[in-house]
Amino acid sequence: MAAALLLAAGGAGAYPDGAPWGASDPDATESCASCHYDYEPVMDSAALSVEGLPEIATPGRRYRLALAFASDTAVTSGFQLTIRGAGKDNGMLVTRDEDVEVVGAAGRSTSPRPVGGELRWHIEWQAPDAEADCIEFLIAASAANDDQSPFGDTIHYKAVAIDVAAPVGD
């Protein structure tokens, strides 16, 4: 029993400053599901959505986004977002939420929030200055049971792809 408690405590403290950047990629070695592995992750989760993201973005334009997560099983939740594309410039993120931090084209929650139906994290994305094909938003959210361990949690993943193109007529 003591060993199980130590293991659980060690798991909760594995990343005291948050999951490694890029953990929202389900194929990453250190993905969210590599630590929260009690249940199979939910791929292309209907519980996750991005509001405010156009089908085709305009170069350099800023978009106000809301990452929404609705889970019937989560007591608390956190998220991570990675934006990637074929080019070096995938835009940049900005936030005013106190419990969200951003670094370039990546963002994450810094503390779990209680889930009471649907959670929303607000973030702004400035599209790259040049046209780009297939910019991908990789989002992960935890449906956590709030026991401060990796056990009993389910990770939800969603990938949303868009293009960045000048408006027709420019």
Can you give the pLDDT at residue 150? Answer: 82
The pLDDT-based confidence of 6 (bands split at 50, 70, 90) is: very low
pLDDT exceeds cutoff 90 at 62: yes
Phi, psi at residue 79, to the nearest 5°?
A: -140, 165
Rounded Cα distance, 78 and 145, in Å: 12
Residue 73's pLDDT is 86
Which residues lie below 8 Å from residue 4, measured CB to CB, with a gap of 6+?
A: none
pTM: 0.86
Strand order in the sheet with 92-94: 48-51, 62-70, 118-126, 92-94
Average pLDDT over residues 5-28: 66
How many Cβ atoms sit within 10 Å of the Cβ of residue 3? 7
Question: Strands, E, within the chain: which ranges?
Answer: 48-51, 56-57, 62-70, 76-77, 79-84, 92-94, 100-103, 106-109, 113-114, 118-126, 132-143, 154-164
CATH fit for domain 41-164, picks 3.90.950.10, 2.60.40.1930, 2.60.40.4060, 1.10.150.120: 2.60.40.4060
In this predicted model, which residue has the larger pLDDT, 31 or 7? 31
Question: Phi then psi for 107, rounded to 5 degrees?
Answer: -145, 160
- Contacts of residue 17, defined as CB under 8 A and 6 or more positions apart, other chains included, come to none
| pLDDT tens-place string over residues 116-147 | 778 999 999 999 999 888 899 999 999 999 88
Q: What is the mean pLDDT of residues 69-89?
A: 89
Rounded-to-integer distance, Cα 77 and Cα 93, Å: 21
123 within 8 A of 67, measured Cβ to Cβ = yes
Q: Which of 37-41, 62-66, 112-116, 164-168 has the highest mean pLDDT?
A: 62-66
Residue 44 to residue 69: CA distance in whole angstroms: 12
Domain spans in the chain, listed from the N-terminal domain onward: 41-164
